[in-house]
Structure 1
Amino acid sequence: MNDDPIAPTPPEGLPEQLVSDLNELSPEELRKTIIHAQELLNFQDEVPSAIEPQSGDDIIQVTEHDSYTEVIKQVYCNETCDDCPHGPYLYHVTQEPHPDGTTKAYWRFIGNVPLDDE
């Protein structure tokens, strides 16, 4: 657990007990919680998040903003790479409309970010 006084602010309407429980989880438990929450959304026929990890990605943090989603992730390139994982990297993700009426997630690379000690 990170004792940083500038902790992320939970979204409005999230139950206080759930916020408290999430704050007690380890980074690995949080990642598993994210996966399970995404599975629950898909099971309930909700529109899945545009933030879907690709093979080799390890999403560390997702923060929603009014016009974009901030994503911090690490990338694993292959099993023989001694420098893996790479990052963490910061991206801003927006939903870009296409002429056919669909939207697609556009990932804009912002740069490296420091990884907090766990």
Structure 2
Amino acid sequence: MSNTNEDPTPPDDLPQALIQRIDPLELPELKSLLSYIEKRIESLRTPIEAEIEADAAGEVLNIENHGAYALVRQHPPDPDGPGVNTDITSLYHVRREPHYDGTESLYWAYLGDLHNAAEARCESCGQTFDRGVDICPNCGSDDVDTGTEE
């Protein structure tokens, strides 16, 4: 186990001038700097919603961003050909997974298929949501197709 009182060795790719500015900082200043750096990194990242849309194999219906992860409802790809299987709505837990080389990828965990969900579709904006809604929660339109004939 290493001695925590020893000064750490800075990475080779940091400019010496930056190291000289950071080394004299005390603990409260370092914690503030760390908080700023984490926020800065997050501001430079591609939003997880955009990464999910680009990475998804099926049709993404809804993304709930919870910060460290997202819940994704989607129609999976059609196993019998191109397109998606609109009869099934699947739920996934998606998070960023860091790799040793500093890169990240999305890790998709299948949670199961949703029953009696995502059965209504707004004819105006195309958003899919739970049956039993008369007004689209996305755009406010009342042009909702519930898949039932009246």
Name the structure where strand makes up a greater proportion of residues: 1
Q: Between Structure 1 and Structure 2, whose CA radius of gyration is higher?
A: 2
TM-score of the superposition, structure 2-length normalised?
0.40
Greater relative contact order, per chain length (Cα 8 Å cut-off, separation 6+):
1
